[in-house]
Structure 1
Amino acid sequence: MARMRGEADPTRTLGVGLIGTGFMGKCHALAYRNANAVLGGLPPVRLELLCDVPDEKATRMAEQFGFARATDDWRALVRDDAVDIVCITTPNRMHHEMALAAMAAGKHVHCEKPLALTLAQAEEMAQVAQDAGVHTMVGYNYIHNPAFTHAKRLVEAGEIGRIVHVRGWVDEDYQADPDLPWTWRAAVAEAGLGALGDLGCHLVSMVCRLAGPIDSLIADMATVHETRPLAEGAGRQAVENEDLASALVRFAGGATGVLAISRSAWGRKNRLGFEIHGTKGLIVFDQERMNELMLYRNAGDKALQGFTTILTGPEHAPFGAFVPAAGHQIGMNDLKIIEAGAFLAEIAGGPRAGPDFKEALVFERVIHAIADAARSDARIHLA
């Protein structure tokens, strides 16, 4: 049974149970298998139990990922005494039930975003986590990028002065093709929000960590392709959620902001980025160039001023744990290693890593407020 807060034992081997073997399932498996090898000083882990359906697939993927056992019953996984951490990498509609069951069994939970289909479900998950006293982590891996954490340090150190304006964007083209077949991502009952829940929450996690909480907003959203073809020529089915959204936001600290989100932006693969405008300078980041950060500071000789491109390197921990030289790059899966390592360290008694369910709820309140503001054509206040 998983230990509660304040009962950490850094020498105890932690059993990992993984539900789901898709893109993010593999990412979690790689992260927990490699976290100690890369970062060091973490409690040892066992890749204990993997769940997928059918059972044949679970067995095959357990062998591929390096898990000791397999099952096609996720309820058996969360009850298993050898499992301490439950990783949930399933479609969105399953997160709520699985997380509640895992926490009821005393397990720590590492859940992919968004937390749930609805805000009410997410609020329940955060409250149960607090009451259960277990550790939780939500898969906002981009805020573990050394380039991002360096940007946060620059802001906190006052390098660009007081933040006055934030521009953020996240664009992908995985739903740009009108002939792409209908999938569960188009159904409210399966995915909840569309581009906001899949992409927008990542952007919100970044700007909130840099500029603080969002106080109020107005917004708009649209479905670009209102129907999509079903398999084998069986007609077309309605797309129930949004392909794009935008918001004008006001931060509690006084800054204003513009956020734009699209899953139908041709040519964009993971253009998740921001500009942070301050009274003394500017910080620019784009996830498609994830090992770079651009900094402008209004200091010194005007004739020599310009943007500085900072290539992440060993000076930007924990980059050096992966590679000892700047310019040699880390990748998306490496961010999940940092995330899993931070979670393991927290469970072993280290500092809170986050975002836990409580902080993730803040992000999800923003994306649901954007949807509500777009539907009501009114300013939504979050405070």
Structure 2
Amino acid sequence: MSRKPTVLVAGTGFAGEGHTDAFRAAGAEVVGMVGRTPHVAAEVAGRLGIPMHGTDWQAALRDTRPDIVAIATPGGAHFEQIRLALGFGAHVFCDKPLTTDGARAEQLLALADAAGVKTAFAASYRYTPSVRHAQALVAAGAIGRPTEVECISHFNLERGIPFGWSHRQEAGGGRLNNNFTHTLAIVSAVLDATPEAVTGEVRDDLRRAPIVDGVHNFATRRAFIPADLSDPKLQWGKSNVEWSYTVLARMKSSFAEAPVSALFKHGGLVPRFREDHIVFYGDAGAIYLEGHYGSGALHLCGPAGDWQDLALPADIAADTPDVTGETEQCWHYLAREFMADIQGRPVAPYPTFRDGCAYQKIIDLIRANANWTDLHPD
């Protein structure tokens, strides 16, 4: 491809702006942006210098004929947007989740394979510098054969966050779609692993959220939390999706003969006391990453049981996009890899629709909550 690849963006919120910046940094030309609300699409596209804006996705595809589409909308909108884009032969970069259930995800994977296009699935926190450092250490044998992983996070999200897509399963909400996708991608990348078996439990401990007008950008939704949640005039929307989960997976790793046990524990509404973390254990040591996506300091335990803090290697630091924000940094990294692949340059494996489809099937199984054994049957 001798000219700049062109990109059409679906979504005008935080992710839409982030995808726009990421593809521009990777060398693409963003030719259009589509959103739900005309004046918002006009304002955001104008501010970002995007020449075309509108609310009709099919018309935008027809008018711009993009090489790539970037799907930056809530998961409930993904299926139709991607289906139409594949009909135009566009490569697709999609934020997580791929869609709302495994059956639809399978359909999109089949359509993408039939169209012969490239796809990217942005479960992208696997690209934080510390996670890539951990990946290099495991590959070098720093912990021996991996045996166990634990991913622990407590977000303490405000219960007054206005009702929206994140509260509804059919809209792509839930903590599995928007947290577990990242941690599973991290574990899969660091261990060069795929999940073989899974069991889990989910819980909706929110149940409802206030309905508030004017919320547009997911990143600024906290500004709309009502001052008085006991106000009798407030209207409430019903949550129908999980806010906490516990998942246990067996992972097949190229670095281990036996399956690796992986625990994913997330409490969306509960406070943390110690730091969130991700730990990779092996038969000769362990790697402790601070932070809910392992993006903080890295600590290595050697065979003697001594812990040491490791600085980020210079080559990983140099390969990290120079942008503010972990989410934005990871989008930039994945968009750069995706563009290189589209242009025929060699790249390391990155997450695609095949991963997004597998993740959605796993989420369906976990949400079914069908793994309990009754100890006191009647």
Q: Hey, what does 2:309 align to over in structure 1?
A: 309
The percent identity for this pair of structures is 24
| 1:294 aligns to 2:299 (yes or no) | yes
Residue 251 of structure 2 is aligned to residue 251 of structure 1: yes
State the 1:213 CA deviation: 1.7
Q: Secondary structure at the match of 2:314?
A: coil
Corresponding residue for 1:339?
Answer: 334
Residue 331 to residue 196, structure 1, CA distance change in 2 (3 Å) = closer
Q: Is the Cα contact below 8 Å between 1:170 and 1:203 reproduced in 2?
A: no
Aligned to 1:266: 271
SS in structure 2 opposite 1:354? coil
What is the TM-score with the length of structure 1 in the denominator?
0.83
Deviation at 1:353, TM superposition (A): 4.1
Partner of 1:41: none
Q: Which amino acid aligns with 1:275?
A: V
- Checking the alignment, whether the CA contact within 8 Å between 1:170 and 1:199 is kept in structure 2 is no
Report what 1:202 is aligned to.
182
Q: How does 1:1-383 map to 2 (within 5 A)?
A: 9=1, 11-35=2-26, 44-174=27-157, 176-177=158-159, 179-191=160-172, 194-211=174-191, 212-231=193-212, 233-252=233-252, 253-266=258-271, 273-287=277-291, 290-298=295-303, 302=304, 306-316=306-316, 318-319=318-319, 322=322, 331-350=326-345, 351=347, 353-372=349-368, 374-377=369-372
Q: How far, CA to CA, are the matches of 1:133 and 1:54 in structure 2?
A: 32
- Which range moved further: 153-162 or 275-284? 153-162
The range that moved more, 103-112 or 236-245, is 236-245
1: CA distance, partners of 2:141 / 2:332: 29
* Contact in 2 for aligned 1:92/1:115 (Cα 8 Å): yes
- Distance in 1, matches of 2:265 and 2:80, equals 31
Cα distance in 2 between the residues matched to 1:221 and 1:320: 35
Match of 1:282, as an amino acid? A
Unaligned segments of structure 1, at least 5 residues:
1-8, 36-43, 324-328, 379-383
Distance 2:9 2:325 in 1: 24
1:86-144 deviation per Cα after TM superposition (whole angstroms, max 9, x unaligned): 11111111101111110111001111100001110111111111111111111122111
**Which deviations, in whole Å up to 9, do the C-alpha atoms of 1:51-99 show, x marking residues without a partner?**
1233232222112122122122111222334411111111111101111
Does the residue aligned with 2:182 lie in a helix, a strand or coil? helix
Offset, 1:150? 2.0
Q: Matched residue of 2:141: which SS?
A: coil
How many residue pairs get aligned? The number is 345
| 8 Å CA contact 1:218, 1:377 repeated in 2 | no
Checking the alignment, whether the CA contact within 8 Å between 1:17 and 1:86 is kept in structure 2 is yes
Rounded to whole Å, the distance in 2 between the matches of 1:60 and 1:353 is 37
Cα distance change, pair 276–240 in 1 and its aligned pair in 2 (3 A):
same
Secondary structure at the residue paired with 1:322?
coil
Deviations 1:212-264 (A, max 9, x none): 12222332221112223334835433211111010222223422222102221
TM-score under structure 2 normalisation? Answer: 0.84
Q: Alignment partner of 1:213: what SS?
A: strand
Partners of 2:19 and 2:241 in 1: how far apart? 28
Given the superposition, is the C-alpha separation of residues 130 and 272 from structure 1 closer, same or farther in structure 2, using an over 3 Å criterion?
farther
SS in 2 for 1:80: helix
Whole-angstrom distance in 1 between the partners of 2:291 and 2:60: 35
Q: Deviations over 1:322-344 (max 9, x none)?
A: 39xxxxx9743222111111111
Counterpart contact for 2:320–2:329, Cα < 8 Å:
no
The C-alpha deviation readout for 1:154-173, integer Å capped at 9, x for no partner, is 21222211111111123323
Q: Is the 8 A contact 1:247 1:370 kept in 2?
A: yes
User: For structure 1, which segment, 344-353 or 309-318, has the greater mean C-alpha deviation from structure 2 after superposition?
Assistant: 309-318
* Corresponding letter in the other structure for 2:290: D
Runs of 4+ in 1 over 4 A off after TM superposition: none
How far off is 1:285 after superposition? 1.4
Matches of 1:320 and 1:290, distance apart in 2: 13
CA contact (8 A) 1:291 1:330 kept: no
